[in-house]
Amino acid sequence: MSAITEETMDYRKRFKAYYYDKIANELASFEAYRTPQMVIYYFYIFMIILTIAIAIGWVLSIGKTMPPGFWDRSGDGNFIIYGVFGICSGFWFLANKVKKNFEIKVKKGVIESFLAFFGDFKWMPRESLPREEIEQSKLIGLITDLKADDYFQGTHKGLKFVISEFKTWRGRGKQRHQTFGGIFVKIDMNKKIQGHTIVTEELSVAKQLTTFNKFPLCGVDSSGLEKVELEDIEFNKMFKVYSTDQVESRYILTTTFMERLKNLKEIYKVCQIKASFFDDSILIAMGCQRDMFLLGDLNIPVTDTGEVQELFDEFISVLSLVDLLHLDSKTGL
């Protein structure tokens, strides 16, 4: 996803110079560490394949001679299956741990230099916005489980900025389903907000049923909020608005701001977008179907600029929300 503006292009040129000056050497120091980690990772993958191959080989050669009922649901053959599954899961867990540890090590080593380019941003792994705040936003309703990934905090163009990447689930056992996967962006508003207004995408039935959007049941929590019908017909087709205050919702959602939200959706097509305005800040939820801010892929040399380029593009796209929505200007909204 990207929002290309002249400013972004300028940023890119400056970042390229900055990368070779400050980041490239730091990254290169991890290359020597990457190879043995990659060997360990593929060793575990090999063990998974080997385990499955041995199991299949055993079943094909000796498995047929087992007594009747061996392969039944309550038969002893189940232990073989569970055993194979358990061993493969164990190796899979170890492989992923190696991958994740490498990613965290590279990120820890390089992210400070990366973020220094953008100002005073800090990175906190495995942190997220407080669960209460996420629930208070009413964008994804109640949360049973939350798995935090990346968390960035800083200021951009004079505004306090938080980017929190996480996944949430609701329910237990068979009722458990994922309700969100993506990023929440919290930015200080340039207007005072006393009430609570939420803007959510209007999903067509077709979109809800396709795999493109995995969270058809994850609507906003509109309890205690009134539906707001605005004048822009196109906007009303794309978004639904709920608010505690009909006047304040129109104060926030001026005709200009509605245009900007429509443009935002055009740019971030692949993400489901929702926004919540409360406590003098705006919380934008972007439900994207992929892990963001990745750095340190075991399979790619760390000196390859592609990964850092993608990280830069993702970060700058999120920061450009301030420009897209004119949140830095007093009369912006």
Partner 1 sequence: MFGMNMICILLVLLGVGAFLLYMVYVQLIQKKNKVQEALASIDVQLKKRHDLIPNILAIAVKFMEHERSLIEDVTKLRTEALNMKSDFSNMEDKIKLENELQSKMGQLIVSAENYPTLKSNETMVQAMETFAEVEAEIAAARRFYNAAVLDLNNAVEIYPSSDFAKTMNITALPFFNDIVESEKAPIDAAAYFAK
Scanning the chain, the segments in alpha helix (DSSP H) are 6-18, 24-28, 31-61, 77-116, 131-137, 205-209, 233-238, 246-252, 255-267, 305-319, 321-324
Half-sphere exposure at residue 280, Cβ-oriented, CA atoms within 13 angstroms: 5
> Binder to partner 1 among 6, 173, 211, 229 (CB under 8 A)?
229
- Report whether 122 contacts 154 (CB < 8 A): yes
Q: Which is nearer to partner 1, 6 or 229 (CB)?
A: 229
For the chain, what is the radius of gyration of the CA atoms?
Answer: 24
Q: Which of 37, 157, 169, 168 is nearest to 99 (CA)?
A: 37
**Selected binder of partner 1 within 18, 33, 42, 251 (CB under 8 A):** 251
Q: Binding segment for partner 1 among 17-25, 41-49, 228-236, 267-275 (CB under 8 A)?
A: 228-236
Q: Does residue 250 belong to the site contacting partner 1 (CB under 8 A)?
A: yes
The span from the CA of 77 to the CA of 70, in Å, is 5
Q: Which is nearer to partner 1, 170 or 240 (CB)?
A: 240
Question: DSSP assignment, residue 19?
Answer: I
Phi, psi of 183 (to 5 degrees): -125, 145
Is 231 a binding residue for partner 1 by CB under 8 A? The answer is yes
| Selected range binding partner 1 among 117-125, 194-202, 205-213, 242-250, rule: CB under 8 A | 242-250
Q: Give yes or no for residue 331 binding partner 1 (CB under 8 A).
A: yes
Nearest approach in angstroms of CB 121 to partner 1 is 30
* By the rule CB under 8 A, 131 interacts with partner 1: no
Determine the Cα–Cα distance for residues 298 and 166; give it in Å rounded to an integer.
22
Check residue 247 for interaction with partner 1 (CB under 8 A): yes
Q: Stretches 106-114, 165-173, 246-254, 260-268: which one binds partner 1 (CB under 8 A)?
A: 246-254
Choice from 113, 254, 303, 305 touching partner 1 (CB under 8 A): 254
Q: Among residues 149, 165, 201, 248, which is the contact residue for partner 1, using CB under 8 A?
A: 248
CB neighbour list of residue 279: distance below 8 Å, 6 or more residues apart: 193
Name the residue nearer to partner 1 (CB basis): 168 or 249. Answer: 249
CB of 4 to partner 1, least distance (A): 31
Residues interacting with partner 1, by CB under 8 A?
229-231, 246-251, 254, 330-331
